[in-house]
Homo-oligomer: A and B are copies of this chain.
Amino acid sequence: MAAPQIDPFARIVHRFATAGKLQAAGAMLNWDAQTHMPPGGAWARGEQMAAITEVSADLVGSEAAAAELAEAEALANKLEPDDRSDLAEMRREHIHASAAPKELLAARSRVAQTLQAVWTRAKPENDWKSFAPGFAELLTITREIAHAKAEALGTTPYGALIDAYDPGVGEALIDPIFAELAAVLPDLIAEVRERQAGWPDPIPFGEIPVERQAALSHRLALAVGHDPDRFRIDAAPHPFSVPHSPGDVRFTTRYDTHQVKFSINATLHEAGHAMYEANLPRAFAFRPGGMARGMTAHESQSLSLEKMAGRSREFLTWLAPRMAEEFGGDPARWSVSNVLNAWRRLDEGFIRVEADELSYPLHVILRYRLEQALIAGDLQPADAPGAWDDLFQKLLGRRPPDLAHGCLQDIHWAAGLMGYFPNYAMGSMLAAQLFERATADDAEILPALGQGDFTPYFAWVRPRVHERASLVSFADLVETATGAPLRADAFKRHVRRRYLEESLD
- A122 CB to nearest chain B CB (Å): 25
A10 smallest CB distance to B (angstroms): 15
Docked-complex contact B18 and A51, CB < 8 angstroms = yes
B55-A247 in contact (CB<8A): no
- A229 within 8 Å of B by Cβ? yes
- A245 in contact with B28 (CB, 8 Å): no
- From B25, B44, B227, A29 is in contact (CB under 8 Å) with B25
How far does the Cβ of A353 sit from chain B's closest Cβ, in whole Å?
A: 27
A43 to B21, CA, bound (A): 12
Chain A: residues with Cβ within 8 Å of the partner, total of 42
In the complex, identify which listed stretch (A30-38, A75-83, A136-144, A391-399) lies at the interface while the others stay far away: A30-38
A286 within 8 A of B: yes
A54 within 8 A of B: yes
State in angstroms the CA–CA spacing of A32 and B36 once bound together: 10
Q: Does A462 contact B (CB under 8 A)?
A: no
Chain B residues with CB under 8 A of A50: 21
A38-61 contacts to B (CB < 8 Å): 38-45, 47-48, 50-52, 54-55, 58-59
Q: How many angstroms between the C-alpha atoms of A26 and B28 in the bound complex? A: 11
- A231, CB-defined interface residue at 8 Å: yes
CB-CB under 8 A from A230, the residues of chain B are 38-41
Known: A24-B48, A25-B25. A42 touches B232 (CB 8 A): no
- Inter-subunit contact A39/B229 (CB<8 Å): yes
- Indicate if A285 sits at the interface (CB-CB under 8 A): yes
In the complex, are the beta carbons of B286 and A42 less than 8 A apart?
A: no
Inter-chain CA distance A1–B248, complex, in Å, is 32
* CB of A264 closer than 8 Å to a CB of B: no
A232 touches B38 (CB 8 A): yes
Supposing A24-B48, A51-B22 touch, asked if A41 and B1 sit within 8 A by C-beta, the answer is: no
Interface presence of A246 (CB below 8 A)? yes
- Alpha-carbon distance between A248 and B47 when the two chains are bound, in angstroms: 13
* Residues of the B chain whose Cβ atoms lie less than 8 Å from the Cβ of A47: 21, 24, 285-286
Within 384-430 of A, Cβ neighbours of B (below 8 Å) are at none
A44-B247 contact, Cβ under 8 Å, with A29-B28, A38-B231: yes
Residues of chain B with a CB closer than 8 A to A40's CB: 227, 229-231, 247-248
A32 touches B28 (CB 8 A): yes
Copies in the complex: 2
A246 contacts B18, C-beta separation under 8 Å: no
Tell me, rounded to whole Å, the shortest Cβ–Cβ distance linking A103 to chain B.
Answer: 10
Q: Are B245 and A44 in contact (CB under 8 A)?
A: yes
A56 CA to B29 CA, complexed, in Å: 17
- A44 x B232 contact (CB < 8 A): no
What residue in chain B is nearest A63 (Cβ atoms)? B2
Q: In angstroms, how far is the closest chain B Cβ from the Cβ of A500?
A: 43
Q: What's the least CB distance linking A60 to chain B, in Å?
A: 12
Evaluate whether A247 and B48 lie within 8 angstroms (CB atoms) in the complex, with A1-B58, A18-B54, A32-B32 already known: no
Beyond the given pairs A38-B248, A45-B248, 17 more chain A to chain B contacts, judged by CB atoms under 8 angstroms and listed by A's residue number, are: A1-B55, A1-B58, A21-B47, A21-B48, A22-B48, A22-B51, A22-B52, A25-B51, A28-B29, A28-B48, A36-B36, A38-B230, A39-B230, A40-B229, A40-B248, A42-B247, A47-B285
Q: Interface of A with B (CB < 8 Å)? A: 1, 17-18, 21-22, 24-26, 28-29, 32, 36-45, 47-48, 50-52, 54-55, 58-59, 227-232, 245-248, 285-286
A-B contacts, 28 of them at CB < 8 A, read: A17-B51, A18-B54, A21-B47, A21-B51, A22-B55, A24-B47, A24-B48, A25-B26, A25-B48, A25-B52, A28-B29, A32-B32, A37-B248, A38-B228, A38-B231, A38-B232, A38-B248, A40-B229, A40-B247, A40-B248, A41-B230, A41-B245, A42-B247, A43-B247, A44-B245, A47-B285, A47-B286, A55-B59
